[in-house]
Structure 1
Amino acid sequence: MDAVGAVATHSDISIWGLFVQADWIVKLVMLALLAASIWCWAIIVDKSMLYGRYKREMSRFERVFWSGQSLEELYQTQSDRPSPGFGAVFVAAMKEWKRSHEQNAASFIGMQARLDKVLDVAINREGDTLEKNLGFLATVGSAAPFVGLFGTVWGIMNAFTSIAASKSTNLAVVAPGIAEALFATALGLVAAIPAVIAYNKLSSDASKMTGRLESFADEFSTILSRQLEARGK
């Protein structure tokens, strides 16, 4: 058996074989892309469950809020463990409302300004929770193909080195190195494609829920403003 035949015989082109035979730099690239892909899927699953819970809790709170139940009764049920979304915004505003009345705040304009500020802070806090870790998806989606491309270039360089060392252009000599290089590219795409799709979907869902929070805050602020005016007369 000649040298080329020996290379062909001992080259394992299975997925595990491509990883084991790869250069250590290409292995690092593959491991990094695999870890990034696993972490992306963990974020995707976690965010999907979180957004589902937010949507259910927000719809449930909205039904109770507009059912005619008094604000004080609703606050008593929500104060200890406010529901995500509307409940957290509502409790934050009601705490400021009650604190201002306990301190006998004289300026209704100042009270309204503080309530609006508290609502903004509560919305931002909920928005941060919804958008947490989405930046990682965006980073992987944009960077993973280039990381995979780096592994591809390095693998092709090794393939050409094998050609020079064996002094043969036979496909059996260059095939393992090229296969390793293309495998790195494939891993980059496997990590990037779901990350991009998930980021677009999840960021859109987060923006919609944040928009619902802002609309609720405006409506609730209007209700509290009417009560302030009624008490000032």
Structure 2
Amino acid sequence: MSTTVTQDMSFLHLISSASLLVQLVMLILVMVSLLSWWFIFRKLFVIRNEIKRTDDFEDIFWRGADLNALYHRTTNSRYASGSMERIFAAGFSEFNKHPSGSDLDAVMESTRRAMRATYQREMDYLESHLSFLATVGSVSPYIGLLGTVWGIMNSFRSLSSITQATIAHVAPGIAEALIATAMGLFAAIPAVVAYNRYASGTDQLATRFESFMEELSNVLQRRAAG
């Protein structure tokens, strides 16, 4: 008898014997979890590479590199450019479009708008799919809970045809229902941790980009005034 109970309580048997709705909930959670893990690993490399490129570019920029040479290096297709490099290229290109003697305030305003537009595109890319991770982290436990509630309801409804109920009758139904909650948490926890980490990383990069835009504006303004 104990062997039969152990076999019935196996993980695969509990999933296969679950109701259709609970199985559908489990399938949704598995798909969501796999997709979130894909985005987690993808964003890990994207943000890590962006931080490295930003560090390298700032090091070159503040060592007093020639802006013209730095611009040509940044726009050269042989070099892999980062977000800060593209912001610099957009601002410097717009600044150079204006002939000498142009109104300085208008030139600087146009330069800032060009950098701001590129900054926004870069941040949209860096923050892409973070909303998905946030949604997975907040919704997955409730999806799992739906499967659990439905499974427990079915388990207790099946007792109506049994004269004397024992733990052996209700345990499999409750166990298969709780698997849905466990799967919901398994999908949600990594997504929440990854979202918090990557959101913090993108916020730090955004602050560095904004500071660089202000500093570059000052450098270009002094260059135009001189």
Quote the offset at 1:98 in angstroms: 2.2
Instruction: Note the residue ranges of structure 1 that are not aligned, 5 or more in a row.
Output: none
Q: CA RMSD in A?
A: 1.9
Query: d(CA) in 2 for partners of 1:208 and 1:113?
Result: 25
Q: Distance in 2 between matches of 1:77 and 1:45?
A: 30
Q: Please name the residue that 1:72 is paired with.
A: 68
Q: Which runs of 5 or more structure 2 residues have no equivalent in the other structure? A: none
Given the alignment of the two structures, is residue 89 of structure 1 paired with residue 87 of structure 2, yes or no? yes
Q: Structure 2 CA distance, aligned partners of 1:76 and 1:118?
A: 18
AA matched with 2:76:
D
| 1:1-233 alignment, distance < 5 Å | 12-81=8-77, 83-101=81-99, 106-230=102-226
Distance 2:86 2:8 in 1: 57
Question: TM-score of the superposition, structure 2-length normalised?
Answer: 0.92
The AA in structure 1 aligned to 2:189 is I
Taking only the aligned residue pairs, the percentage that are identical comes to 38
State the one-letter code of the partner of 1:77: R
Q: Tell me how far apart the structure 2 counterparts of residues 220 and 77 of structure 1 sit (CA, whole Å).
A: 17
The runs of 4+ residues in structure 1 deviating greater than 3 Å are 8-11
Instruction: Find the aligned partners of 2:153 and 2:60 in 1 and give their Cα distance.
Output: 65
Q: State the distance in 2 between where 1:227 and 1:121 align.
A: 23
- 2:64 match: secondary structure: coil
Could you report, residue by residue, the CA deviation over 1:29-64 in whole angstroms, capped at 9, with x for unpaired residues? 111111111111111111111111001111111111
1:161 CA drift (Å): 1.7
Does the 8 A contact of 2:95 with 2:108 survive in 1? no
Q: 1:105·1:111 contact (CA, 8 Å) conserved in 2?
A: no
The residue identity in structure 2 corresponding to 1:98 is N
C-alpha deviation, 1:168, in angstroms: 3.5
CA distance in 2, matches of 1:133, 1:116: 28
Deviation at residue 12 of structure 1 after TM alignment? 2.4
| Structure 1 letter corresponding to 2:88 | F
**Distance apart, 1:139 and its partner CA:** 0.6
Deviation at 1:90, TM superposition (A): 0.6
Distance 1:159 1:47, change over 3 A: same
d(CA) in 2 for partners of 1:153, 1:166: 21
**Counterpart of 1:106 in 2: which secondary structure?**
coil
Kept after mapping to 2: 8 A contact 1:138/1:199: yes
Matched pairs, number = 223
Q: How far apart in 2 are the matches of 1:110 and 1:10? A: 78
Q: In 2, distance between residues paired with 1:117 and 1:125?
A: 12
Segment of structure 1 superposing worse, 215-224 or 120-129: 120-129
